[in-house]
Amino acid sequence: MSQHSDPAADLLPARMLNEFVYCPRLFYYEHVEGVFLHSADTRRGAEEHKRVDAGKGGLPKAKKTAAAAEPTSISSAADRAGETDAPGAPDAVTSGNAEGAPSESAAADSAAPTPPLDAEIIHARSVMLGSERLGVVAKLDLVEVTLGATATCATDASAPSEAGPRSPRSAASVCPVEYKAGAPREGDDGRDLWDTDRMQLGLQILLLRENGYACEEGVVFYRQTRQRVRFVLTLEDEAWIRRSIAAARACATGAIPAPLDHSPKCVRCSLAPVCLPDETHFLQHADDELPPPEAQLGLPGLTHDLLPGDDAQAALLADGFATDDPAWLALPEPRLPRSAGDGEVRRLMAPDTDTKVLYVNTPGVMITKKGETVVVKEKGDTLSEVRMKDLHHLAIFGPAQISTALIQTLCEHEVPVSYFSLGGWFYGLTRGHGLTNVFTRIRQFARAAEPEQALPLARLFVYGKIRNQRTLLMRNHVEAPAPALRALKHAASAALVAPAQATLLGIEGAAALVYFRHFSGMIKAAEDPDEIPGLEEPTAIAPAQKEFNFDFKTRNRRPPRDPVNALLSLAYSLLARDCTVAALAVGFDPYIGLYHQPRFGRPSLALDVMEEFRPLVADSAVLTAINNRMLTPADFVQAGEAVNLTMAGRKRFFLAYEKRMSDTITHPLFDYKVSYRRAIELQFRLLARTLTGEIDRYLPFLTR
Ligand code: SF4
């Protein structure tokens, strides 16, 4: 949607029209929402354009003609270049019959038809041209200008144009040459242009004409096959281009177009991980069914009066959830969509990122950059070096110095920096601007401002958390007590029909009480099977546990007062950080929540979605670190009541946490493999789709 008042600023970049021809939704993402992601193809294309873009744009001044004299063309680099010497000087002048070496450059630069012997050829690179009448602006890779020729571009200069009478032949006849990384299309008559290239070159020809140059054809040079394909603009092409410009303008002011339906184009599209074409189709046709809120009527103990933080009431409710009251049996079970099955939803993204997190855990170090490498030094000694391209996050614990040059580079590379206290409290984040998806934030704010609109989503966050807590207990508890599993099941069902946010908080608190009462049953520090905790009493402590002091009875924090709580606090901090980064990457404001209420410095929306992943990522990483003996008693220190990890202990826990985030799982809805890191990002993207109305309902991430 255009926000500009300057008509010149409203010109559509020709590259965006390429995208529109490829896929209107891709155009919308890039042009309207400002979303762009690099793929291998786009990186290769950008790299290969560097040489072209390094050149100077300089076309000889066009002869003014009737068409060009009208106020249709904007001030262009070409015009300016023609009027001055130095900046706009042509960067290459060759004679028409020069015998160039068969280099790629020569092959491409001599792309136009062979000029007559008396012709002089100028190559102008990176030429900017615009036209208000067309409503388009473009940067042309290369324009081959033939001076003093009686015939240059090989087609009929007097052919009619939809824009009106064609300009008479000017002194210079020009031929745009476009560089492409790939290969030409196999057409019926041999090599042919792709539609996107046809659009791009056609626009360049029209722009050159609008600016007073005689231009009949252009050339695309395909680097992969080192082949040139000529393109002569027909009236039919011109009409198609003008129709496409009008359609793209209309698209930009409307709603986002639907994704393509299982198109092969999506496989090569750099925005597939953002667009989620198959996932969106799947969820648009999903047959999920959740119980209506009225279903809560008559459920035992579920009232409007539940107060968050009232432990006595939560305990009563927790016990109430464990009953066999028939009212619970009458509550319909939620039905979520079946998994997609083979081939229905393609995984169009890598299962996980191939970059890593750099944790800086030593107080007082200096973090700087050396070229494209991040360097961590302590008193002049290098502790670690990581290449910028191998990094997706930098996490700093405690006091450290970081150079502004490094921060600037990290912002440019879109690598966030998170800051934690030595005790593991996540208190800040630095990242580049990257504020795209403005429409997502508008919908987020609107939904958050209306509690009754936010409640259905809040119910699902809490439902997902409790269901996953129950699953973790079933999977890992030495003998999961049936009343606890029953209570968690009822609590999850109650969350789905909670009549108010306060009720939901009470249900969540009651479920947490049940879950953490039995958490110690998942800790398998005992070597002797007879000493396995949890068999008799949930709080029974085996000697080995005592030694490790993992005698976890209940969740405590600020400060954590035992090693397990210290680990849980750190794990939740790391997960909150990762959810904040994911929320920002999707375009949300992480501080405006739909369940968690705003509070200074609290990333409420990140905490909302994090609920589903607490048991699966954070609790699970803690259990792995303890049960696999990754930590020993020596990894903890006690100061007063507070227990914390040593530097060495924290380092070991980072490994356990990152390993869990990288673990690949089968996505419960889409049936493909993804890491937890990717699954979290997916949840935020699905939440955004729900808020913008593209899919009807947000579905929580439930492990099987
Ligand atoms: S993934 Fe497919 S539908 Fe989505 S923008 Fe790309 S080409 Fe279009």
- Please write the tens of the pLDDT for every residue from 216-267: 899 999 988 988 899 999 999 999 999 999 999 999 998 899 999 989 999 8
Mutate to test the pocket of ligand 1, among 260, 282, 349 (most ligand atoms within 8 A of CB): 260
Rounded distance, CA 682 to CA 689, Å?
10
- Cα dihedral 207→13→90→223 (10° resolution): -100
Can you spell out the DSSP letters for 174-189? EEEEEEESS--EEETT
Q: Tell me, in angstroms, the distance from the centre of ligand 1 to residue 443's CA.
A: 22
Cβ count near 75 (within 10 Å): 10
Q: What residue owns the CA closest to ligand 1's atom 4?
A: 275
Quick one: which atom of ligand 1 is closest to the CA of 270? 6
3-state secondary structure 57-76: CCCCCCCCCHHHHCCCECCC
CA 626 vs. chain centroid, Å, equals 33
The residue ranking higher by pLDDT, 77 or 648, is 648
Q: Tell me, in angstroms, the distance from the centre of ligand 1 to residue 148's CA.
A: 47
Mean pLDDT confidence for 359-375:
91
Mean pLDDT confidence for 13-19:
93
Q: Is 281 annotated as a binding residue?
A: no
Rounded distance, CA 463 to CA 240, Å?
52
Q: Tell me, in angstroms, the distance from the centre of ligand 1 to residue 16's CA.
A: 14
Q: Is 612 annotated as a binding residue?
A: no
Nearest to 220 by CA among 232, 235, 211, 238: 232
Q: Confidence class of residue 604 from pLDDT cuts 50, 70 and 90?
A: very high
pLDDT digits (tens, 9 = 90+) for 406-452: 999 998 888 889 999 887 888 888 988 766 678 888 999 999 999 88
Is residue 356 within 6 Å of ligand 1 at its C-beta? no
530 in helix, strand or coil?
helix
Q: Tell me, in angstroms, the distance from the centre of ligand 1 to residue 21's CA.
A: 12
Q: Tell me, in angstroms, the distance from the centre of ligand 1 to residue 619's CA.
A: 36
pLDDT at residue 38 in the model: 62
Nearest to 592 by CA among 570, 609, 614, 574: 609
Q: What residue owns the CA closest to ligand 1's atom 5?
A: 26
On the question of pLDDT at 535 being above 70, the answer is: no
Quick one: which atom of ligand 1 is closest to the CA of 24? 8
Quick one: which atom of ligand 1 is closest to the CA of 275? 4
Quick one: which atom of ligand 1 is closest to the CA of 259? 3
Q: Confidence class of residue 47 from pLDDT cuts 50, 70 and 90?
A: low
Is residue 23 within 6 Å of ligand 1 at its C-beta? yes
Quick one: which atom of ligand 1 is closest to the CA of 23? 8
On the question of pLDDT at 46 being above 80, the answer is: no
Q: Tell me, in angstroms, the distance from the centre of ligand 1 to residue 186's CA.
A: 23
Q: Is 508 annotated as a binding residue?
A: yes
Is residue 262 within 6 Å of ligand 1 at its C-beta? no
Mean pLDDT confidence for 313-329:
75
Q: What integer best gives the mean pLDDT of the chain?
A: 79
Strand order through the sheet with 401-402: 381-387, 373-378, 366-370, 401-402
On the question of pLDDT at 31 being above 70, the answer is: yes
Q: Tell me, in angstroms, the distance from the centre of ligand 1 to residue 283's CA.
A: 16
Quick one: which atom of ligand 1 is closest to the CA of 29? 5
pLDDT at residue 362 in the model: 87
Q: pTM of this prediction?
A: 0.80
pLDDT at residue 34 in the model: 82
